[in-house]
A and B are shown apart, each in its own frame.
Chain A
Amino acid sequence: MDTDRSAQLEAPPQLLIIDDEPIIGKRLQHAFGKVGLNALIFTSPQAAMEAMNKESFNVVITDFRMKGMDGLEVFRQVKQLNQKTKVIIISGSASPETVDTAFQEGVFDFLVKPFRLDELKSSVSRAMEEIKGEDGGGIPAC
Chain B
Amino acid sequence: MIIPELRQLWAALRKLLPGRSAPPVSPRVVFERFQKVLASNNQALEIIADLGEKLGGDYLFDMRYVESSTEQLIAAVQDSVTAVNALCADRHAGLQKVHDRLSEDLRLTLAGREDREGPLIFTLDEIRPRNWALVGGKAAHLAEMRHDPQLRVPDGFVITARAYNDLIDHNDLRQQLTAFEELMAAHEPDLAALDELRQQMERAVQAAAPPPGLLDALTAAVRHLPKEDKPLFLAVRSSAQEEDMDFSFAGQFTSVLNVPAQPAALFAAAREVMASLFCAGAVAYRRRVFPDEGKMAIAVVCQQMIDSRTSGIVFSVDTMQLAHDTMVVVAAWGQGEAVVEGGTPTDTFQLRKGPPISIVARQVADKEQGLFAAADSGLTARAIAEELRSQPCLSDEELLLLGTQALHLESLFKRPQDVEWAIDNAGQLFILQTRPLVLNAPAREQTLPVRLEEHELICAGQGKVAKQGIAAGPVHIVNLADETGDFPEGSVLITRRDSSRLISFIQRASAVITETGTPVSHMATICREFQVPCIVNVGSILGKVTEGELITVDAEDRRIYRGKIEELLVYHASSNVNIMVSREFRLLRRILKTASELHLVDPMMQNFNIEGCRTYHDILRFAHESAVQEMVNLGRDERRLIKGSIVRPMKLPIPTGILVIDIGGGLAPDAPERDVPYQAIASVPFRAVLQGMLFPEIWHNNPMPVGIRDLMNSMFSPVREEAAEQYSGHNIAIIGGNYVNLCFRLGYHYNIIDAHCGEAEQNNHLYYRFLGGVTDMTKRSRRAAMIAIILKEFEFNVQTKGDLVTARLSRLPQREALYALDILGRLVGYTRQLDVCMESDADAEKYAEAFLNGDYTFTDRV
| Complex Cα gap A79–B571 (Å) | 36
Contact of A27 among B188, B291, B446, B579 (CB under 8 A): B579
A-B contacts besides A10-B446, A33-B445, A113-B60, 9 pairs, CB < 8 Å: A10-B444, A23-B581, A24-B60, A27-B579, A31-B556, A34-B557, A92-B65, A114-B54, A114-B62
| Complex Cα gap A90–B446 (Å) | 25
Contact of B579 among A23, A33, A116 (CB under 8 A): A23
B801 within 8 A of A: no
Residues of B within 8 A of A34 (CB): 445, 448-449, 556-557, 571
Residues of A within 8 A of B571 (CB): 34
Residues of A within 8 A of B450 (CB): 36
B643 within 8 A of A: no
Smallest CB separation, B569 vs chain A (Å): 13
Residues of B within 8 A of A24 (CB): 60, 582
Are A35 and B446 CB-contacts (below 8 A) given A67-B187, A113-B60, A114-B60? no
B575 within 8 A of A: yes
| Complex Cα gap A21–B65 (Å) | 15
Residues of A within 8 A of B187 (CB): 20, 67
B: which residues have CB within 8 A of A? 54, 58-65, 187-188, 291-292, 444-446, 448-450, 556-557, 571, 575, 577, 579, 581-583
Interchain CB contact under 8 A, A90 and B60: yes
Are A113 and B579 CB-contacts (below 8 A) given A11-B446, A34-B449, A35-B449? no
Are A33 and B446 CB-contacts (below 8 A) given A1-B188, A26-B577, A92-B64? yes
Interchain CB contact under 8 A, B556 and A120: no
Interchain CB contact under 8 A, A93 and B64: yes
Are A30 and B292 CB-contacts (below 8 A) given A115-B59, A115-B60, A120-B60? no
Residues of A within 8 A of B60 (CB): 24, 27, 90, 113-115, 117, 120
| Complex Cα gap A21–B185 (Å) | 12
A50 within 8 A of B: no
Residue of B nearest to A25 (CB): B577
Smallest CB separation, B536 vs chain A (Å): 15
Interchain CB contact under 8 A, B582 and A35: no
Residues of B within 8 A of A23 (CB): 577, 579, 581-582
Using an 8 Å CB-CB cutoff, how does the interface string of A8-45 with B read, 1 for contact, 0 for none? 01110000000011111011011101111010000000
Residues of A within 8 A of B292 (CB): 21-22
A134 within 8 A of B: no
| Complex Cα gap A21–B58 (Å) | 17
A118 within 8 A of B: yes
Smallest CB separation, B571 vs chain A (Å): 7
Smallest CB separation, B533 vs chain A (Å): 15
| Complex Cα gap A33–B448 (Å) | 9
Interchain CB contact under 8 A, A9 and B446: yes
| Complex Cα gap A1–B187 (Å) | 11
Residues of B within 8 A of A116 (CB): 58-59
Interchain CB contact under 8 A, B61 and A113: yes
| Complex Cα gap A109–B65 (Å) | 21
| Complex Cα gap A92–B63 (Å) | 8
Residue among A23, A38, A116, A118 facing the most chain B CB atoms (10 A cut-off):
A23
| Complex Cα gap A114–B575 (Å) | 24
Residues of A within 8 A of B58 (CB): 116-118
Residues of A within 8 A of B446 (CB): 9-11, 33, 36, 38
Residue of B nearest to A2 (CB): B188
| Complex Cα gap A22–B54 (Å) | 18
Residue of B nearest to A33 (CB): B445
| Complex Cα gap A11–B444 (Å) | 10
Residue among A20, A26, A33, A114 facing the most chain B CB atoms (10 A cut-off):
A114
Are A21 and B556 CB-contacts (below 8 A) given A10-B444, A114-B54, A114-B61? no
| Complex Cα gap A116–B62 (Å) | 13
Residues of A within 8 A of B59 (CB): 113-117
Smallest CB separation, B570 vs chain A (Å): 13
| Complex Cα gap A87–B443 (Å) | 30
Residues of B within 8 A of A20 (CB): 187
Residue of A nearest to B572 (CB): A34
| Complex Cα gap A22–B582 (Å) | 9
Residue of A nearest to B57 (CB): A117
Smallest CB separation, A3 vs chain B (Å): 14
Residue of A nearest to B461 (CB): A118
Residue of B nearest to A24 (CB): B60
Residues of B within 8 A of A38 (CB): 446
Residues of B within 8 A of A30 (CB): 575, 577
Interchain CB contact under 8 A, B575 and A113: no
| Complex Cα gap A52–B252 (Å) | 39
Residues of B within 8 A of A21 (CB): 62, 292, 582-583
Residue among A31, A34, A113, A117 facing the most chain B CB atoms (10 A cut-off):
A34
Residues of A within 8 A of B579 (CB): 23, 27
Residue of A nearest to B56 (CB): A116
Residues of A within 8 A of B583 (CB): 21
Interchain CB contact under 8 A, B444 and A9: yes
The 10 lowest CB-CB distance pairs between A and B, nearest first, are: A114-B61, A92-B62, A23-B582, A33-B445, A36-B449, A30-B577, A114-B59, A113-B61, A26-B577, A11-B446
| Complex Cα gap A38–B63 (Å) | 28
A–B Cβ pairs within 8 angstroms, 15 of them: A9-B446, A21-B583, A23-B581, A23-B582, A27-B60, A33-B445, A34-B448, A34-B556, A34-B557, A36-B446, A36-B448, A38-B446, A113-B65, A114-B60, A116-B58
Smallest CB separation, B469 vs chain A (Å): 13
